[in-house]
Amino acid sequence: MLEKVELNYKNGKIAQEIIALQNDDGTWGNEFHSLSIPNNKKPLTTEQALRRLKLLGFTINDAPIKKAVDCMVACLNGERKIDNYREKTRDWDLFTKLMLSTWVRIFEPDNRIALECAEYWVNVIEEEFANGKYESDTGEVDFVTFYEMNLLQGLLSKETESRMLDYVINHKRGIYYIYGKRISELPKEFQSIETSRYLDAIDILSGYKLAKEKLAFVTEWLKQNQDENGQWDLGPKAKDNLYFPLSDSWRNAEYRKADCTDKINSIIRKLT
């Protein structure tokens, strides 16, 4: 008989360790930007902490998230700087506004100041797809990144959303920062880190109104990989300390299966 696993990620050891590292101003570490997997050689960044806490079920109703969002809003209002980090390869001020607005909208979708930034990108995307296809792909990173894909949810016209999702799903470089292959091509091995990261890309796209229609092939694939007990298992190799684990330990395989099942059930609910 399968062991009954109780999922309570928000009160677990992983969550409490991250919360304990939060700075008094609502940030983490010395830098805001970095979506790479955390490691012991570099302090946790604010983005890494927010991403992990979101995966663990934290929302704007939780004090650490509210504190971080208030800090980001203050930065968007020009009341403070997020940090001293800058990259020379892009318009850093524009990117910082995009980055902060995205995270604010992830936790507080109707935030006025975040929506002001989102409106700029809505206008860009509506104009680019007005003739039926995206015309500005230069071969480098375009708008298909973690930020725009989260920021634009619920704001595009139905026609533009349809055209944009078709473009994103077939984009040869996937969603930058998240998954580096075509979304239209399913991972070859279900039990893998690749599938874990693919699922995060799908989870982002599931926030769009037309996702149910556009990603029906993903829903069918997930159902085909469900085991006889109604669970999913991405295997031990899926543990990367970002997407998984969600439970404090995977020493017991049932906790691994519970984590994977919880994640996939959440995606399926959004797509059906």
- Is 90 exceeded by the pLDDT of residue 87? no
The pLDDT of residue 43: 80
Least confident range from 93-97, 181-185, 233-237, 261-265: namely 93-97
Q: How confident is the model at residue 6 (pLDDT cuts 50, 70, 90)?
A: low
The pLDDT of residue 123: 95
The pLDDT of residue 4: 53
The pLDDT of residue 37: 76
Q: How confident is the model at residue 139 (pLDDT cuts 50, 70, 90)?
A: very low
262: CB partners within 8 A, 6+ apart:
7, 246
Q: Which residues of 44-60 are buried (b: 16+ CB within 10 A; e: fewer)?
A: bbbbbbbbbbebbbbee
Q: Residue 100: what residue type? A: L
Least confident range from 13-22, 37-46, 81-90, 130-139: namely 130-139
The pLDDT of residue 105: 98
Q: How confident is the model at residue 86 (pLDDT cuts 50, 70, 90)?
A: confident
- Is 60 exceeded by the pLDDT of residue 38? yes
Q: What's the mean per-residue pLDDT of the chain?
A: 92
Rg of the Cα atoms in the chain: 19
The stretch 42-70 carries a mean pLDDT of 95
Q: How confident is the model at residue 141 (pLDDT cuts 50, 70, 90)?
A: low
